[in-house]
Homo-oligomer: A and B are copies of this chain.
Amino acid sequence: MQPVGERPAASREIGQPDTRLDLGRIFEAKEQISRMFRDTPQFGCSSLGDLLGCELIIKLETANPIRCFKGRGTEVVMSRLERADQKAAVCASAGNLGQALAYSGRERGIGVTVVAATSANGAKIDHMRRLGAAVELVEGDIEDARKRAREIAASGNALLVEDSENLDTCEGAGTIGLELVEGFDRIDTMLLALGGGALATGVGHVFKCLSPATEVVCIQPSGAPAMALSWRARSVVTTDRADTIADGVAGRFPIAAVLQDLLAVANHVPLVEEASIKAGMRLLHRHAGLVVEPSAALGVAAILEDPSRYRGKRVVTVICGSNVLPDAFSAWTQD
């Protein structure tokens, strides 16, 4: 693991101006999310915890029709869009956001267009189409898809949903934090996958407000470190490539406003190697009976690379997605 610097927990009052996030709106968001995506399981896994040397709590965000947490954000986006009487939305997605937006749009009769890179996971693309989304494929990676989505939004009356830039996606994800704070009297460490930043900033903000003693750890793959490098530099750092199996967190252009939100909540932002991500996937399969996508194994990967940091602590890891092609899963988790 390559730690990229550390900072003590920010000690701040709720609602200070250096974050866009608002606890009141996160509580409101909870009311807008379908039962399908909230009040998800949160339970101890003693078998894996014993092996890792900590009390491991799993927050499971995969037992829903889109097999990831992003429905929380898109439910909030689409509820607000519905009230605004706008009838179309567009997003760029490596897969999970697109499936979530398609699901939330279908439930409300709102048309959805998803722009994906040709390199995106085929199972996710198929599922978006089954959910009624129009899918446009573009050459390149997620950043190329994002550019095309902006063009589509600019040329028509469609809301551009940019994951993490759109506050609804962060505040929807933040409801995970509300459920955890309500369910446990104490959480020592909160492990969060870090990509665009919606999950990390949303959940992180809830902990800073309601459980400030909890250490918020946000993890990126070494192969896609743009946001982690930005957090260390305290200003946006872009990268030329994103090279990781964790497609759900593989961005290259952090958004300045989201970085600001992250600076307000993250205590530690480690980078983890691909081998650790695969080992995490293998352990979650073997000891927790879960098939997870690579980004959902970042938390366990972080413990594997720095076990003494977590020893004896109550540590929560969010299993944020299980959209992984079976053959890829088998290949990555071979012993």
Contacts and interface: CB of A to CB of B under 8 A. Distances in A.
A180 to B, nearest CB: 13
Given A285-B291, A289-B290, A291-B290, A65 B36 contact: no
Contacts of A44: 65
Counted per complex, copies of this chain come to 2
Nearest to A62: B289
Interface residues of A, number: 31
Interface in A44-73: 44-47, 50, 58, 60, 62-65, 67
B39 A43 contact: no
A62 B47 CA distance: 14
B41 A40 contact: yes
A64 B57 CA distance: 10
Contacts of A35: 183
Contact of A46 (B40, B130, B291): B130
A36 B183 CA distance: 10
Given A39-B39, A41-B41, A289 B46 contact: no
A36 B47 contact: no
B40 A65 contact: no
Contacts of A290: 289, 291
Contacts of A39: 39
Contact of A45 (B65, B123, B291): B65
B41 A65 contact: no
A35 B43 CA distance: 10
A296 to B, nearest CB: 10
A62 B290 CA distance: 10
20 contacts: A35-B183, A40-B41, A41-B41, A41-B63, A41-B64, A43-B63, A43-B65, A46-B65, A50-B130, A58-B63, A63-B63, A67-B289, A285-B291, A286-B326, A289-B290, A289-B291, A289-B292, A289-B322, A289-B324, A291-B291
Given A43-B65, A44-B65, A289-B290, 20 more contacts: A36-B43, A39-B39, A41-B41, A41-B63, A43-B64, A45-B65, A46-B65, A46-B127, A47-B127, A58-B63, A60-B63, A62-B289, A63-B63, A67-B289, A285-B291, A289-B291, A289-B292, A289-B322, A289-B324, A290-B291
